[in-house]
Amino acid sequence: MKPWSFAAALCLTGFAAQAAEPAPAVAPGWDWSLPAGIQPVPYSGFVTWGKDRISAMITVAGVWATWKRMCPAPDTYDWTLVLEAIERNKAAGMRTGIHLMGVESQAVPDWVIQKYKAPVIPVIPLQDNQPWRISIVPPWHPDVMREYRKFLDAFCQTGIARREEVVYGYIHGISPSRGEELFLRKQDVEDWEAKAGLTPQGFADCIKARIDAMLAAFQGVEWKLAWMTGRGTAVNVNEAYKNAAVDLCEYAISHGTGWREGGVESMHELFESSVLGTSIDPDGYCVIDETLPLLTERRYRGDENEEYGKDWEWRFGPVEGDEYRHRISTLRTLQLRQNFQMVSAETLKLNPDLNRYAMLTQGRLWDDSPDAWAYLRECVIKPNKTVKNLERWLIQRDVGGSRSVACERVDRYELGWDPDDHHFDMDARRTDLENQQDGLAFQLDSKLWIEPQAAILKVTFTDGEPARWHVAYTDAQSGEAKTASVENTGDGQRKTATFEIPNLAATRQFPGQMDFRLVSEGPGDLTVTMVRVIKKDWKELDRKPQ
């Protein structure tokens, strides 16, 4: 590798030598710290099941309120289960999420099955090694659908959904997973058509009726509702079902509902979602349309980041891979601007500092976020599409003098989004001194960094080879500026360097309209995984709960 001098690095940045600032602090490992005084956004939360509050970070408890339990006889309703759960959760310092279950056979009243001779159909497992088995009672059966609608109408009359303590309600559907999510496979459709008369229109009518009933129950607080799939993609088994279901998502969202997905812990879903406004640009970066009402109106946007530990090895492989998968999945929830996460005890064990960081920053937008970040990585998703980085109001781009190389390969368990024989990711990017690329270039979102201000810059890097490196930026008063340098030792350890920048001006002064660069002075390259820019003087907003 060509040796590079400190003077040469300064020349490439276009900066003259300046007086050194205080040396940055370098500490081992990651750094997820935030400004003092930060509190969770009011309309956000970590969610779990059960009566016990397993952690102070859990602020919402989901309640499985089954049709069977609350409708023990025709036209007879008992809401005690839900009302007691709301009060119990409140006493424990938690709010409540509502799941009105009525598809899986154990959630359907016996009297409904017996009176209407409704079939009970075993569901073909997702995988042969799946540890549970379920059966459903077809919700598209005319009599079942009519009785379930009566149940939802009765729930509407209670006013429970509009209580302040209730923060969400799922619009449940049909699925082979737990019976009540919303996706179908080809084998499900074929089986249910043969055994229970499923048709595309019958499916669509059933789900539309549920949407309407839940909208009525949550009238005035429709933003609490969680539609549970994309625009027709979850029933894209053939053209007939796709066409019948394609407008259901738009119908729900346009009537004010929020949205929920169930697979963030698989890491690489939702890079392209018209519902969330995510897409992959021609250069391979996932970009987000932040003008969508689902986002700007701060509706429910949630996911499930809970499938970790020995009980989930059947799906995600050995637990040794959980730490990496949890880190990427947790950051993806923040990249997607989600505000609620279903978590488990195993989730909370994996990385307490990162979990706390996620709890405190989820649900924030550019106007109330204390920081912006870019996680430098690279993955490949089906059919053969490269996706670069995870970014939240801070982007890294390859521009002249700062063209990076993906590195730090992580081999992992096969995921559903992997192309054949590509079960690995690159978990960092580095400079490329050999090809005269001495920097990594970044740009702050102008919605977040409105004016020059003091910043704390945290750079998590791998000390892979001896090198000196610094941050080149624009100071609002003095113009061209640089920090004191970090001296790498080449010990191979992951570390975080913290820089205090007194007046960071994001004025697009660097090549490619970038705002600052990490510059390697040589002799070795700089390998970086995470960059965070924190507003040093940030203060929490004084606001009312949604």
Residues 136-161 have pLDDT tens digits of 999 999 999 999 999 999 999 999 99
Residue ranges of domains in the chain, CATH in brackets: 6-34+372-535 (2.60.120), 45-368 (3.20.20)
What mean pLDDT comes out for the span 401-427?
Answer: 96
Instruction: Give me the residues paired with residue 479 across strands.
Output: 475
Reading the block at residue 496, the tokens are: 């975080």
Cβ(34)–Cβ(372) below 8 Å = no
The confidence score (pLDDT) of residue 276 equals 92
Count CA within 13 A, CB hemisphere, residue 281.
Answer: 10
Q: Is the peptide bond before 523 cis (omega within 30 degrees of 0)?
A: yes
Helix (H), strand (E) at residue 315: helix 313-316
Average pLDDT score over the chain: 93
50: pLDDT confidence band, cut at 50, 70 and 90?
A: confident
Taking residues 440-457, what's their average pLDDT? 97
Residue 232 is predicted with a pLDDT of: 61
391, β-bridge pairs: 374
At 69-111, the pLDDT tens digits run 999 999 999 999 999 999 999 999 999 999 999 999 999 999 9
Neighbours of 127 (CB within 10 A): 8
Report pLDDT for 543.
63
* Residue 474 bridge partners (DSSP): 480
Question: pLDDT tens digits, residue range 277-332?
Answer: 999 999 999 999 999 999 999 999 999 999 999 999 999 999 999 999 999 999 99
Task: Give mean pLDDT, residues 179-208.
Answer: 93
Tokens coding 451: 């004016």
Q: Give 538-543 contacts, CB < 8 A, sequence gap 24+.
A: 538/35, 538/370, 539/37, 540/37, 540/38, 540/39, 541/368, 543/42
Q: Is the pLDDT of residue 545 over 60?
A: no
Least confident of 11-20, 205-214, 358-367, 419-428: 11-20
pLDDT higher than 70, residue 14: no
> What pLDDT digit, counting tens, does each position of 23-49 carry?
899 999 999 999 999 999 999 999 998
